[in-house]
Amino acid sequence: MKNNGKEYLGPLIICLAVFLALGWRWYTVNRNHEPGLLVEQGTEKGEPVENASIRVHVAGAVVTPGVYTLPAGSRALEAVEAAGGALPEADQHAINLAQPLYDGQRVEIPFISGDESNQKTAGGGLVNLNTASQEVLEKLPGIGPVRAARIIAYREQKGWFKSVDELADVPGIGPKTLATLRNLVTVY
């Protein structure tokens, strides 16, 4: 028998068809790709997204307390600068100026006080009243096991705290205790 190579023609056509199909698939997926162009998913027509901004409330020992619009990813230091800077009597060591900010956050710059109870808890962060455990709450000045349990019971009964001032509604927390805790706690 004589071989003309026709027995290889069928598999060759199949391989060529598979190769062309894979090439077409790669082309259709990558034809609109521009290296280095970042586009947020979910935007119509793939328009580039403008820089997002956040709004933060700067209060306490700053020149001009108020609500400021800052670029997303800003730090507490930038919020203080937007408010005209800290006053000379500000205790800037009591807060973390490098802390990243989120939309709707309140940045409270405390005044210098001789009272050591105004110092932050371990790690320099504020205690979130809405998520703090019994042990964390007990480490706050003036808050023992009974008051910590009352804070948690209030939170479970009424829902999350909407402001630090709402802490005054907890039985056993008076104006003096609230004043001591104001710069040590937060809600979000």
Which tokens in the block code for residue 32? Answer: 């609109």
Residue 45: per-residue pLDDT:
44
CA distance 127 to 161: 12
37 pLDDT higher than 60: no
132 pLDDT higher than 90: no
115 pLDDT higher than 60: no
Question: What digits encode the pLDDT tens for the residues 169-182?
Answer: 999 999 999 999 98
What would the DSSP string read from start to end of the chain? ----SGGGHHHHHHHHHHHHHHHHHHHHHHTT--TT----TT-GGGPPPPPPEEEEEEEESBSS-EEEEEETT-BHHHHHHHTT-B-TTB-GGGS-TTPBP-TT-EEEEPBP-S-GGGSPPTTSPPEETTT--HHHHHTSTT--HHHHHHHHHHHHHH-S-SSGGGGGGSTT--HHHHHHHTTTEE--
Residue 42: per-residue pLDDT:
41
CATH of domain 120-188: 1.10.150.320
Q: How confident is the model at residue 168 (pLDDT cuts 50, 70, 90)?
A: very high
Q: How confident is the model at residue 36 (pLDDT cuts 50, 70, 90)?
A: very low
Answer whether 104's CB lies under 8 Å from 164's CB: no
Residue 174: per-residue pLDDT:
92
Q: What is the mean pLDDT of residues 130-156?
A: 91
Q: How confident is the model at residue 31 (pLDDT cuts 50, 70, 90)?
A: low
Q: What is the mean pLDDT of residues 17-46?
A: 62
Residue 34: per-residue pLDDT:
46
Q: How confident is the model at residue 111 (pLDDT cuts 50, 70, 90)?
A: confident
Report domain 51-111's class: alpha beta
The full set of domain ranges for the chain reads: 51-111, 120-188
Unique residue bearing structure tokens 């056993």: 172
163 pLDDT higher than 80: yes
> Whole-model pTM above 0.85?
no
Residue 51: per-residue pLDDT:
62
Give 132 or 116, the one with higher predicted confidence.
Answer: 132
Residue 30: per-residue pLDDT:
67
Strand partners, 128: 186
Q: How confident is the model at residue 50 (pLDDT cuts 50, 70, 90)?
A: low
